Amino acid sequence: MNKSLGFFIMFATALLLNCIKEPVAWYEDVGIVEITTDTTITTFHVPDTDTGPGNPGWNPWGNGSASQDFTIKLKEKSKKDVAVSTLRWQFFDVNGTHIASRSETYVPPIEIDGGKEYTYTVSIIVDERIADDLDDEDGAANDYYGRGTIKFIVEGYDLIRGEEINCIYSYTPIEVRK
């Protein structure tokens, strides 16, 4: 081998090894499910059930609620057959503060073949407590208006090895009105 070529290979190898300053990451070979939901703002018209004097705005203990149907699309991204056992959704106010969490468990789990999509509808309910929290953090309190975000998360496992799946979350903006 040419002497200068050998020197160049040794120099390039040494240079490459000196560039690595920390351990190389190890990524598990597991299923990944991406969630897609509507990204346009969804409005919930929540009634105020306690309109008596001295009770402005929604009552956190009131029983008023509103629901909206959301189309949820799950796409398996890593070509692994997976089972989705739980859908979770979390409510956040405009400041990013967690307000509430809800979930739906699937028995039997929803099975998704590797690389395929599964679409279904879930009904999301916003009660007076959630509406009041969103209202209080978004501008004037007790004005019957608030904004926030719903974060959607799935849990499940790989059908071949039983490993827990990873999830790419979805975020949907929401607003509440009377």
Q: What's the whole-model pTM score?
A: 0.81
- Return phi, psi of residue 110, to 5°: -80, 120
Q: H helices of 3-81, where?
A: 3-19
Query: CA-CA distance, 64 to 132, in Å (whole number)?
Result: 11
Query: CA-CA distance, 162 to 148, in Å (whole number)?
Result: 35
Whole-Å CA distances, 122 to 18, 37, 175 = 52, 11, 18
Q: pLDDT for 94-131, tens place per residue?
A: 999 999 999 999 999 999 999 999 999 999 999 999 99
* DSSP code, position 22: S
pLDDT > 90 in the chain, percent: 67
For residue 87, pLDDT over 70 is answered with: yes
CB 146 within 8 A of CB 136: yes
